A and B are shown apart, each in its own frame.
Chain A
Amino acid sequence: MPVEKFYYDNKIVKWFGYATMLWGIVGMLAGLWVAIQFYAPGAALNFAPTTFGRLRPVHTNAIIFAFVGNCIFTGVYYSLQRLCKARMFSDRLSRIHFWGWQGIIVAAALTLLLGYTTGKEYAELEWPIDIAITLVWVVFGINLFGTIIKRREKHLYVAIWFYIATWVTVALLHIVNSVEIPVSLFKSYSWYAGVQDALVQWWYGHNAVAFFLTTPILGLMYYFLPKAANRPVYSYRLSIIHFWALIFIYIWAGPHHLLYTALPDWAQSLGVVFSVMLIAPSWGGMLNGLFTLRGAWDKVREDPVLKFFVVVVTCYGMATFEGPMLALKNVNAISHFTDWTIAHVHIGGLGWNGFMAFGMLYWLIPRMWGTPLYSKKLATNHFWLGTIGIVIYTVPLYWAGFTQAQMWKTFTEEGQLKFQFLETVTHIIPMYVTRSIGGSLYLIGAFLMVYNLAKTIRKGYFIADEVCEAAPLEKQTSHVREYWHRWIESRPMTLLVFSLIVVAIGGAIEMIPTFLVKSNVPTIASVKPYTPLELQGRDIYVREGCYTCHSQMVRPFRDEVARYGEYSKAGEFVYDHPFQWGSKRTGPDLARVGGKYPDSWHYNHMMDPRIMSPGSIMPSYSWLLDNKIDTASTPAKIRAMQTLGVPYPKGYDKIANNDLMTQANSIRLSLKMDKIETPKDAEIVALIAYLQRLGKDIKAMPKEQTAKN
């Protein structure tokens, strides 16, 4: 068989590599900025786009989809060509993929800063961007499978399986979770409501962690770790078990984000069981990575790349041990809604994803520019700065989370709550300061890397097309009976279909019952649709990202019932498109805030939170006092809600604004009684209307009836 000469495309790898560095720095800067706002609320600059509620989604989206996303594409485009012994299927598709993805990132950053958001964590982007993501993802898929099909290597190495599973599952997750009904160019409502929306969202949210932040990175680990250590993976058999077990189990684990909420019990238990099972494949993979370094530990001492990879694998092990623990209901009762979760995800984000990106770039760039790294010493310094940064970041937050949960749950001997919510926040502020110091160290390390790699690039000469030779694939002529797995393995499309079936079964069983029996989410007769003014107020609540700090979910615990009121029921959320349960309580829960304070309290509190609660770390929302309610959008919003099944009377869209003005006027008058003059069409009026509605419906019904639900 004659060998063929061909060239690997390094140019696309270079572009994605540059993008990884750029967005990494941007995402980390955004992270540091929001971290500082925890102890210096003035850092929000009293400017809407730079408040926590809008910057935090910028940080999370930039890190997940821009930094880690580009890191994945860098690694995939490099390793896939080499593992398939083929150039990428199409250079043009590679370019479309690259520019398409960067365009999406820029559009995402701008729209999020401007307050265009769906209000669903990690899926905040509005519908036109969702469509763009789908298209670019398809382009990536064609390029991926095209390359696999024209490969010159018979076997598909396990890294490619991880890439395939990533592609197919992310497509499924993105499409299912993004079903929304557009109201205008940059506003839509989630198709699902309340409990169902929560279930779909966290099925998505958890699997975004699984199939965007984990499986593709595992693929990279199975390629770059053996490369850097110059030895094959410890156990290839284990890697196969790792793969199938991981994708099979991960897809079920989402509901562990909703323990003790109004989600049906069985779904919660399902999430717990599968989360605990996950520890087996995760640790199998972790040990596989660690043992690959067996006998190469002397190299770890010298090679900064291997140093990064040791922490990568260790953090993977730590995060995947902690994950199942946090999914246990008794642990989750303490950790949920606190900074514990933030510490947990940053072990993964900083240690697993970030360090993988750094290690990979330190390995790739010298090779693609045909020159040794500019400074090993600087890279080693980066490693130590980053590692110490991770420790200083996470340890105080674990402490903060645990402390705050204990304070929330402490009662005096007389049976009263011992601490005001605000006291539990001010108590942990020193931990927030320390956290941002840890983050700064990590960021300085990243800057060192950019400098080091820029120097390396300047010194070397870029090899745009790397030459390689290999024989083309022989047509299968052997009649030897093949084992079924070998059969799948040489058929990438079959592998694709199998992974899809595997993840679809999990997703379907988890979600279908709550959907089919919509009427079975016990309805509460007194729960009514929002008034037009409240609906507008709710959209302002979503726009400002209030859910990033406030939950709307009272769990059935003694302390929460004492602090906030009756625990939340599934039937209360049937008109919530999207649900706003939240995942973190930097501020108190708002599920029962309606009627707790007078209208004027909310007015003053939004103008400057520290007037009403000294020591509060909430940003000021003074622009809400001046902005006018977008009443022109009311009819379209009512119609969209009607399409989604919210029972507004027929033709209500035409008269909704009359009701809106009547209600707004009554709030204006109530504010006037407290000597506050405001136009009735100010946004603050709508927001007050919404906040005063929260949790009120359920109070209108007899006690026994609520208890039954």
Chain B
Amino acid sequence: MKFINYLEKITGVSIYPLASFMIFGLFFLVMLIWVIKADKKTIQNISRIPLD
């Protein structure tokens, strides 16, 4: 039972995992960039919410 056997039966199915991984990768990348670039003061403010 190989992965390929399953997928052969669905037309154009190979695009789905690829697309999902792309979404996953892009989402992650954008999030990382945001996290790194985010304004230090905002971050500090948010992290203090539980204490105020």
Q: Bound pair: A and B?
A: yes
CA distance A230 to B7 in the complex (A): 54
With a CB–CB cut-off of 8 A, which chain A residues contact B1?
A: 264-266, 520, 522, 570
Q: CB distance A232 to B51 under 8 Å?
A: yes
Contact surface of A with B, Cβ cutoff 8 Å: 79, 82-83, 153, 155, 157-159, 222-223, 226-227, 230-233, 236-237, 240-241, 244-245, 248, 264-266, 483-486, 502, 505, 509, 513-514, 516-517, 520, 522, 570
Q: CB distance B28 to A513 under 8 Å?
A: no
Q: CB distance B2 to A483 under 8 Å?
A: no
Give the interface centre of B2, B6, B16, B34 by most chain A CB atoms within 10 Å.
B6
Q: CB distance A517 to B9 under 8 Å?
A: yes
Known: A155-B49, A505-B20. 17 other contacts (CB 8 A): A79-B50, A83-B50, A155-B45, A157-B49, A158-B46, A222-B50, A223-B50, A227-B50, A231-B51, A232-B44, A236-B46, A237-B43, A244-B28, A264-B3, A266-B1, A266-B6, A517-B10
With a CB–CB cut-off of 8 A, which chain B residues contact A244?
A: 27-28, 31
Q: B13: shortest Cβ distance to chain A, in Å?
A: 8
Q: Contacts A155-B45, A266-B3, A522-B1 known; A240 to B31 CB distance under 8 Å?
A: yes
Q: A201: shortest Cβ distance to chain B, in Å?
A: 19
For window 1-52 of B, CB contacts with A under 8 Å fall at 1-3, 5-7, 9-10, 16-17, 20, 23-24, 27-28, 30-32, 34-38, 42-51
With a CB–CB cut-off of 8 A, which chain B residues contact A520?
A: 1, 5-6, 9
CA distance A416 to B5 in the complex (A): 38
With a CB–CB cut-off of 8 A, which chain B residues contact A236?
A: 43-44, 46-47
Instruction: Give the contacting residue for A505; candidates B5, B23, B31, B51; CB below 8 A.
Output: B23
With a CB–CB cut-off of 8 A, which chain A residues contact B32?
A: 241
Q: A594: shortest Cβ distance to chain B, in Å?
A: 25
With a CB–CB cut-off of 8 A, which chain B residues contact A222?
A: 50
Q: Contacts A237-B43, A484-B34, A505-B20 known; A264 to B6 CB distance under 8 Å?
A: yes
Instruction: Give the contacting residue for A513; candidates B6, B37, B50; CB below 8 A.
Output: B6
Give the interface centre of B3, B7, B30, B50 by most chain A CB atoms within 10 Å.
B50
**B interface, by DSSP: helix, strand, loop or mixed?**
helix
With a CB–CB cut-off of 8 A, which chain A residues contact B50?
A: 79, 82-83, 157, 159, 222-223, 226-227, 232
Q: B9: shortest Cβ distance to chain A, in Å?
A: 5
**Can you name the residue of chain A whose Cβ is closest to the Cβ of B23?**
A505
Q: CB distance A232 to B47 under 8 Å?
A: yes
**A interface, by DSSP: helix, strand, loop or mixed?**
helix
With a CB–CB cut-off of 8 A, which chain A residues contact B31?
A: 240-241, 244, 485
CA distance A522 to B6 in the complex (A): 11
**Can you name the residue of chain B whose Cβ is closest to the Cβ of A160?**
B49
Instruction: Give the contacting residue for B9; candidates A266, A484, A509, A516; CB below 8 A.
Output: A516
Q: Contacts A237-B36, A240-B31, A505-B24 known; A155 to B46 CB distance under 8 Å?
A: yes
Q: CB distance A265 to B2 under 8 Å?
A: yes
Q: CB distance A240 to B2 under 8 Å?
A: no
Q: B35: shortest Cβ distance to chain A, in Å?
A: 5
Q: Report 8 cross-chain contacts, Cβ distance below 8 Å, ordered by A residue.
A: A83-B49, A157-B46, A157-B49, A236-B43, A240-B31, A241-B31, A483-B37, A513-B3
**Can you name the residue of chain A whose Cβ is closest to the Cβ of B7?**
A513
With a CB–CB cut-off of 8 A, which chain B residues contact A79?
A: 50
With a CB–CB cut-off of 8 A, which chain A residues contact B42?
A: 155, 486
Which 3 A-B pairs have CB atoms at the shortest separation, nearest pair first?
A266-B3, A236-B47, A232-B47
Instruction: Give the contacting residue for B35; candidates A232, A240, A265, A570; CB below 8 A.
Output: A240
With a CB–CB cut-off of 8 A, which chain B residues contact A485?
A: 31, 34-35, 38
Q: CB distance A232 to B2 under 8 Å?
A: no
CA distance A230 to B50 in the complex (A): 9
Instruction: Give the contacting residue for B34; candidates A231, A483, A505, A517; CB below 8 A.
Output: A483
Give the interface centre of B37, B38, B47 by most chain A CB atoms within 10 Å.
B47
With a CB–CB cut-off of 8 A, which chain B residues contact A230?
A: 51
CA distance A230 to B48 in the complex (A): 10
